[in-house]
Amino acid sequence: MYHGVCQDQCCNTIGSYYCQCQAGQKLEEDGRGCEDVDECTVVSGGCQQRCINTLGTFHCACDTGHSLHADEHTCINVNECAEGLASCRHLCVNTVESFTCACHPGFELGADGKQCSRIELEIVNSCEKNNGGCSCHCEHAVGGPCCSCNHGHRLDSDEQTCIACGIQVFPCVV
């Protein structure tokens, strides 16, 4: 809609006039028409992730896994785990853009990425082969072999070799 010779606002001056456009628009080269200013071309409109230009203005948007902060420019990570948006069977791990599901020990994640099923393990005695690396006694434990020594001996810093307590050790004569 033109107001006289101006597309938007015509401002009278003594003996002349000039044209103005609303906020978010600028005068075209003819000095009369108005065209949209693309705020997104100048530092992305101040948006942290995405800037969407609209006629006369713009707005910011966020990538998947983020939401727009109250300042309408900053994007914050959505914690799907804390907000109950994830449907993990055992454990939920928040990531930058989404979340992943995980399982408790002894379970593995199913093909759907959310359900967990028990792992059938063959129990192997860690002391069976080479006495678990222990020079004396070996006891099978969840974390692997647990070495121990006879009275008067203690484990060396390698946690496998038994050495005499307070006595200099000489090689055995056979």
Q: What is the CATH number of the domain that holds 21?
A: 2.10.25.10
The predicted-structure confidence for 115-142, as pLDDT tens digits, reads as follows 998 887 666 788 888 998 999 899 988 7
Give the Cα separation of 76 and 79 in Å (integer).
Answer: 9
* Domain-located, residue 3: no
* Domain-located, residue 4: no
DSSP code at position 106: T
Predicted local distance difference test score (pLDDT) of residue 167: 53
Q: What is the mean pLDDT of each run of 10 residues along the chain (174 residues)?
A: 74 90 88 89 88 91 90 91 86 87 89 87 78 89 85 88 69 38
* Domain-located, residue 170: no
Grouping H, G, I as helix, E, B as strand and the rest as coil, residue 44 is helix
* Domain-located, residue 69: yes
Predicted local distance difference test score (pLDDT) of residue 4: 63
Domain of residue 46: give its range: 40-77
**Residues 44, 25 share a domain:** no
Tell me the C-alpha to C-alpha distance, in Å, between residue 48 and each of 51, 65, 94: 8, 14, 21
**Residues 31, 44 share a domain:** no
Predicted local distance difference test score (pLDDT) of residue 3: 53
From the centroid of its chain, how far is CA 23?
Answer: 39
Sign (positive or negative) of CA dihedral 85, 90, 94, 98: negative
* Domain-located, residue 103: yes
Predicted local distance difference test score (pLDDT) of residue 122: 62
* Domain-located, residue 109: yes
Pairing type for strands 50-54 and 34-36 reads unpaired
**Residues 33, 61 share a domain:** no
> Domain count of the chain?
4
* Domain-located, residue 44: yes
**Residues 49, 32 share a domain:** no
**Residues 66, 47 share a domain:** yes
* Domain-located, residue 169: no
